[in-house]
Every structure is written in C-alpha cells, then in structure tokens.
Amino acid sequence: METMKAINRRKSVRSYTGEKISREALDTVLQAAYAAPVGMGKYENFHLTVIENREFMQAIEEKASAMFGKPDLHLFYGAPTFILVSSKPDGAEKVGGIDYCNTAAIVENMSLAATDLGVGHCYIWGGVAVLNANPDLVARLNLPEGHTPCSGIILGVTTEEYTDRDIPGQRIGTSYLR
Ligand SMILES: Cc1cc2nc3c(=O)[nH]c(=O)nc-3n(C[C@H](O)[C@H](O)[C@H](O)COP(=O)(O)O)c2cc1C
C-alpha cells in the first residue's frame, strides 16, 4: 500500500477472530517500530514487550473493568497480542513528555505497518493505565531497569478491511502564522 493510502485507511479495529497474526507479519510490525524516530536517537531507552499470555491479558482486562467501572469492558477486544512500549525517562523530565511523544511515534509506525499488512490493530491506552496502577503486574514483565509502560497496541486477525475513509477536513483546528 502506498503511504498516503495507508494513512487514509488506517483505523482502530475493535473486532478480532482471536487468531494471532503470522510470525512474519509480527516481525514486519516490529521492524516498523525499530524504524520509528525517537528524540536524540536514544533507542536504548525504549523497550517492546510482546504480550501473548492469555492469563496475563485477562488479569489486565479484569483490572480495567474494575478501574473504569465497566464490568462488560473487554479492553483488548479479543485480540491475542498486546505490544507494550516502555520507556526509561533518562532526563526526559527536563523536556516534559518526550517519552510519551517517542512511544507514540513508535506505536504509530506499528499502526501504519499493520494497516499495510491488513492485520487488525488498535492503540490501547487503557492497558497502559492499568499496568501503571498495578506494579505487581508490571513486575511480571521484567522490564529493563528504570523502564515504565507508556504506550501499547493490540494486534490480531480481523475480518474487517482497511478501505478508503472520508477524513473531515480540518477536524484538528489549524491556524497559520506566516
Ligand atoms: C493515545 C491513544 C490512546 C488510545 N487508547 C484507546 C483505548 O484504550 N481503547 C480503544 O478502544 N481505542 C483507543 N484509541 C483509539 C482512538 O479511540 C481512535 O484512534 C480515535 O477514536 C480515532 O479513530 P480511528 O483510529 O478509527 O481513526 C487510542 C488512540 C490513541 C491515539
């Protein structure tokens, strides 16, 4: 798919068959993450955890239901894979929020790659919120020293397709100073 087509067709998928994407597709998505821009090129401050442990994902979902007060919430929508992006602040506090900017860039690259491959995906902030509220769950991930969860994306086989979308012009307020 050409770049602008993928950008237009990208969407959040919230329905999954439960089947994992192929190993090859997962590797392509990870490759897209590695190609993402990060501030000052400090790639050593980021970590990806490919989570496919059903019991662990269920534990996150249960905590999410309680946290958001929605017993029927299925945070991962039946997707079998959750890629968590963690970061180590390493001076990021001096330029507030840069770790979140970096991890968003990494997730967006994975999102566009998933669109190109035709595999289901959705940015999932809820999983990050749950993890950060539950240090016992984070401990099970054995993240590298000093890293904390910042962003995440689910992946899985879907019956949905990525088709051309009508994106409303200027739905993000835009002004110019020329
Ligand atoms: C930072 C961020 C966090 C998000 N977290 C969630 C989430 O936890 N659950 C969810 O279903 N969608 C989540 N989304 C998806 C947005 O709701 C979605 O991108 C937005 O409504 C636009 O729809 P589209 O992606 O189909 O174009 C998130 C998106 C972003 C960028």
- Which pLDDT band, with edges at 50, 70 and 90, does 1 fall under? low
Tell me which residue has its CA closest to atom 21 in ligand 1. 12
Q: Rounded to whole angstroms, how far apart are CA atoms 68 and 71?
A: 8
Q: Is 12 near ligand 1, meaning CB less than 6 Å away?
A: yes
Is 81 in contact with 156 (CB distance < 8 Å)?
yes
Q: Rounded to whole angstroms, how far apart are CA atoms 70 and 18?
A: 22
Q: Is 122 near ligand 1, meaning CB less than 6 Å away?
A: yes
pTM of the model: 0.97
> Is pLDDT of 10 > 90?
yes
